[in-house]
Structure 1
Amino acid sequence: MTVAEPAPALAAPTRAPAPRLAARARSVGGSPVRDILAVTARPEVINFAGGLPAPELFDRDGIAAAFEEVLAQTPAQALQYSTTEGEPTLRAGLAGRITARGLPTDPDDLLVTTGSQQALSLLATALLEPGDTVLVENPCYLAALQVFGLAGARVVAVPGDEDGVDPVALEEAIRREHPKLLYLVPTFHNPTGRTMPAPRRAEIATVAAREGLWIVEDDPYGELRYDGERVPWIASLPGAEDRTVLLGSFSKVMAPGLRLGWLRAPAELRRACAVAKQAADLHTATLNQLAAARYLDVLDAHVARVRAVYGERRDAMLAGLPAALPPGSRWNRPEGGMFLWARLPESYDTLALLPRVVEQNVAYVPGAPFYAGAPDPSTLRLCFVTQTPEEIAEGLRRLERGLGG
C-alpha cells in the first residue's frame, strides 16, 4: 500500500502595498466640528458646538402627513427614479418662494441637490481645476474650506470688517490672485452670525461684474430672522444676475434628515452641475422631494414658530454672556441664524482651553479652524438654537468655570 506524501506548504503570496490615496484625500483633514461633537456626545454635556436645529421643534406630524399623502396618492412616482434636475412640483414651489422674496425665478433655473453641501461640491467639480484660486471670507464656513481643498484649489482669505468682505480689498485680491470665484455666506454668516448690509452687497456685485468673477452666495439661514429688516440677495442686484450662484437648504427650516438643498445658477453652469450630479448620485431622493413639495404649503407657519423659539434662545445667550466670558471679551448680536461669535482677550487660546471647558460638561467650537488665513486663537463660535433658555443659562455658568472665571 502506497502512502501519499504530504503536499508541500504553499508559500505566502507576495503582497504589494495598496495604491495610495489621491493627493487631495491625503491633504485635507476631517471636520474639527465633527470631531468635537464626537467627543462631547455625552448627554450630560451642554453642547454649544454643533450647528444642529432643535429636534423638539421638528414638525413630525406635518412631515409624516406629507409622506403619507405622497405614498397614498402617487406611490409609483414616489418610489421610482427621478430626473437629475429635481421633481417639477418641488422646483415649481421653490421658484415661487424665491420669486416672492425678490428674485424672479423659473423652475428651470433650479437644480435640487442632496443638501446644499452637495451643491458646493457640484460647483467645485464644474468650476475648479487643481490650482485654481477661490476667495473666501475670513473666517469662513468650515465645510466650504473642505470642499475647495478637496478640489485642489488655493483658498485665499479676503480682509474684511464687521460688515463682511471689504470691496477694495476684494478688488485688489482679484487683480493679484486671478480667482475663479468668491464664496460668501452674507446673511447670518457661519461662523460669525453677521449679516452683510445692502450697500456692501451692492459694492461686491459691482466689483464682481467689473472683474468677471463668479459669486457663490450660500443662504442656509436666511429665513431664520428674529429682528431687523430682510436684506436683498446679492443674486438680485444689478451686475450680479449672470455671475451669482444662489444656494439654499431645507435643513434649517424643515429637517436636515431630508437632505434637501438647491442651487440657482445661470444656464450653462447649472447644466454643468447637473452633469456632475448625474455622476454623483443620479438624483436626490424622489420620495423626500415630493413630501417636501407638499409640506411647502405649511412651511411658513412652521418657520414662524421656529423663529419665535430661536429668538428667545438667542436672547438668553446674549443675557448670560457678560457673566460667562472674561472681562474684555467682545461678541456680536446676530439678527438671525444659529450662531454667535465671541473674541476673548488676546491671552486666551480657545483651542487649548477646550479640554478644560469640556471637563465642565459644556462645549464650544474654537474659532481657529474657520480661518483660511492667519487664525485668531482667541475666538470661538457658540450655537444658541439647540438648548432651552434654562439649559443655555446653565451652560454659560459651566463655561465661566471652564474659562477660569
Structure 2
Amino acid sequence: MADRHRFPHTDRTDRADRTLGSRQLAAMLPDPAEARPAYRHLARAISALILDGRIALHVRLPAERELATALHTSRATVTAVYDLLRESGYAHSRQGSGTWTALPEGRAPSGIARLLGPQDTAIDLASAAPGLPEQALLDALAQVTPRLAEHAHTPGYHPYGLPELRAAVAERFTRRGLATMPEQILVTAGAQHALTLVLGLLCRPGDRVMVENPSYPNALEAMRRARLRTLSVPVSDTGWDIEITESTFRQAVPQLAYLLPDFHNPTGCLMPDEERVRILRAAERSGAWLVVDETLADLALDVPAPPPFASRATPGGAGQVITIGSMSKTHWGGLRMGWVRAPARLVTELAGQRVATDMGGSVLDQLLAVPLLARAGELLPARLEQLRRQRAALAAALAEHLPQWTWQLPPGGLSLWVDLGAPLASALAERALDYGVRIEGGAYFGADPGLFEQRLRIPYTTSPETLREAVHRMAAALAEGLSPSSATRRAHWVA
C-alpha cells in the first residue's frame, strides 16, 4: 500500500460540490430560540462564519425549506435570514440557482484583519507572533549588504531557494538528527506557503485529509479553499487519541495527514516518541502522505527540543513524510521565510508548482535568513527565557483574577489553551473588544463546527505587564455577566 499515493495523480477531474449542506450549516448555528428576533440572531451568526472563513465565499447556501427543517424553525424565518444577508452584502442570489455567500464591499475576512493587527484596541492577544530583536536584524542587514550587491547583477529568480539557504536549512535538519541534503529542501515564503504548495500538488478537490481537532486555523482555511474533505482526530489537554488516529488511517485511507506534533497549536502538547512511531507506521500502511508542521519545534521551554518527526520513520516510510517549517515563531514573521523538506523528486515537482504563482522568494529575505539561522544558538536561548517569564506572568494573572478557569501548563510553544468551564468564549471575545483586548475564541481552532466554545487560546508573546493588564480587563468583562452562546463572534454587522 505504501506506493498508492507516492506521487500526485494527474488524471482526476472530480470536483467538490460548492453547495453547503443544510445539516452542516445548522450544526454551526445557534438554536433559533436562543435570542429574539431569531432571524437576526441567525443572520449575525452566518455573517460571522463567513468573515471567519468557516463558511467559504462563493458557496451556495441551502435551500430555505431544507435549512428550516434542519434548524427546526419556520421557512419564513430562514427567508428573513437570507434577506438580511443579501441586504448587508453577505449573500447574493442568482436567478434560478439559489443564494450564494459573498463579502460586503469594504470588509476584509477576519484572517486578514488578524494579520493587520488591532485597529481600535490596545492589546492584541489574537496573534501568537513574537518580534525579532532590533539589533539582531541590524547586524544581519550589515552582514548581507555586500552579498545583496553581488546578487543585483543576476536575474534574481531562485525557485528552489538560494543555494546557501537550502544548505543552511539542510544542515539544521542534519544537526537535529535527520540527515538531509540541500536537494531535499525547497525554500518558501513561510510555512503556510509551504503547506499550500503541498496541498496543491498532492491533493485534488474532494480528497480526504486527516487533521487534528483543534488545529492551526490558517491550515484549515487552506484546506477549505482547496475544497478538501477533512477528517478530524481529537487532541485534548493530555494529547492525541492514537487509537482513533490509527483507525482513521486504516478505515478512511486519507490522501494526506497534517500534524503539529511539537507544542501543538493551540493545546501546547508534545507528542511522545512512541506515538510518533505508531502514526508513522499507520500512515505507511495506508499509503498516506504525512505533512508535519515543525514551526514550533524549537520553542521548547521545559523539555529538550524534539528531533525531527521524520527521523523516526523506517527507510521505507521516510519518503512519505513531508516536513514544513518556518522562522516566523523563532525569529520574525516579517521575514516570510519557510521551507519544505521532502524527497528530492517531490521538491522538484513542488518547485514547478511554485513558479506558476511567484517564481521565487525575495533574495534579500533569504540572504538575511542565512546569518540569522547561523546565530540561532545565540539568539534562541534569550527568546526562550523571555517566553518562560511571560508564560509565568500570564499563569499567575489568570490564577489571581480568574481562578475558576483551568489549563495545562504547556512544555513549550507560545500559548495557553484555557478552559472557561462554560461555553462563553465567543461572547467573552466580543465583550473583551469593548475593554481593549482582542482574543480568539476556541471555535476558531476547531476542525468541526460547534466545538471549543468553552476554550480560549491566550498567547504569552507580549510583555508580562501587558499580559497582566489583559487578564485584568478580561476579568472585568466577564464580571459584567455573559450568557453561554454556541454561535456568535463579532460579526461587524451592518443591518
Give, in angstroms, the shift of residue 305 of structure 1: 1.3
Unmatched segments (≥5 aa) in structure 2: 1-16, 19-55, 60-100, 481-495
TM-score (norm 1): 0.87
Aligned in 2, Cα 1:105/1:140: closer, same or farther, shift over 3 Å? same
> Separation in 1 of the partners of 2:162 and 2:254?
34
Whether the 8 Å contact between 2:211 and 2:257 is mirrored in structure 1 is yes
Give, in angstroms, the shift of residue 326 of structure 1: 5.6
- Give CA-to-partner distance per residue, 1:335-382, whole Å, 9 cap, x none: 121111011113x32112222122222232100021112412111100
Of 171, 174, 177 in structure 2, the residue corresponding to residue 99 of structure 1 is 174
Aligned in 2, Cα 1:160/1:362: closer, same or farther, shift over 3 Å? closer
Answering whether residue 58 of structure 2 is matched by residue 26 of structure 1, we say yes
Which residue type is aligned with residue 137 of structure 2? I
Unmatched segments (≥5 aa) in structure 1: 1-21
Of 132, 138, 148 in structure 1, the residue corresponding to residue 213 of structure 2 is 138
Equivalent runs, 1:120-199 vs 2, <5 Å: 120-199=195-274
Aligned in 2, Cα 1:31/1:52: closer, same or farther, shift over 3 Å? farther
Answering whether residue 455 of structure 2 is matched by residue 379 of structure 1, we say yes
Which residue type is aligned with residue 308 of structure 2? W
> Separation in 2 of the partners of 1:332 and 1:296?
31
Aligned in 2, Cα 1:318/1:63: closer, same or farther, shift over 3 Å? same
Answering whether residue 318 of structure 2 is matched by residue 241 of structure 1, we say yes
Aligned to 1:59: 133
Whether the 8 Å contact between 1:33 and 1:365 is mirrored in structure 2 is no
Which residue type is aligned with residue 345 of structure 2? E
Answering whether residue 358 of structure 2 is matched by residue 281 of structure 1, we say yes
Answering whether residue 145 of structure 2 is matched by residue 71 of structure 1, we say yes
Answering whether residue 378 of structure 2 is matched by residue 301 of structure 1, we say yes
Whether the 8 Å contact between 2:297 and 2:306 is mirrored in structure 1 is no
> Separation in 2 of the partners of 1:225 and 1:65?
26
Give, in angstroms, the shift of residue 128 of structure 1: 0.8
Which residue type is aligned with residue 213 of structure 1? A
Higher relative contact order (CA 8 A, sep 6+): 1
> Separation in 1 of the partners of 2:367 and 2:128?
26
Of 381, 405, 408 in structure 2, the residue corresponding to residue 332 of structure 1 is 408
> Separation in 2 of the partners of 1:78 and 1:164?
49
TM-score (norm 2): 0.72
The answer to which of 358-367 and 165-174 deviates more is 165-174
> Separation in 2 of the partners of 1:233 and 1:98?
7
The 3-state SS of whatever aligns with 1:281 is: coil
Q: CA RMSD in A?
A: 2.3
Aligned to 1:315: 392
Give, in angstroms, the shift of residue 236 of structure 1: 0.8
Answering whether residue 293 of structure 2 is matched by residue 218 of structure 1, we say yes
Aligned to 2:159: 84
> Separation in 1 of the partners of 2:388 and 2:152?
36
Aligned in 2, Cα 1:150/1:400: closer, same or farther, shift over 3 Å? same
Whether the 8 Å contact between 1:247 and 1:263 is mirrored in structure 2 is yes
> Separation in 2 of the partners of 1:41 and 1:194?
32
Aligned to 1:395: 470
> Separation in 2 of the partners of 1:364 and 1:290?
35
The answer to which of 308-317 and 237-246 deviates more is 237-246
Aligned to 2:25: none
> Separation in 2 of the partners of 1:87 and 1:31?
33
The 3-state SS of whatever aligns with 2:213 is: coil
- Give CA-to-partner distance per residue, 1:178-226, whole Å, 9 cap, x none: 2111101111111222211222112111211122111111011111211
Aligned to 1:111: 186
The 3-state SS of whatever aligns with 1:72 is: helix
Aligned in 2, Cα 1:353/1:150: closer, same or farther, shift over 3 Å? same
- Give CA-to-partner distance per residue, 1:1-37, whole Å, 9 cap, x none: xxxxxxxxxxxxxxxxxxxxx9675249976454457
Q: Among the aligned pairs, what percent are the same residue?
A: 33
Equivalent runs, 1:195-206 vs 2, <5 Å: 195-206=270-281
Whether the 8 Å contact between 1:164 and 1:186 is mirrored in structure 2 is no
> Separation in 1 of the partners of 2:362 and 2:445?
31
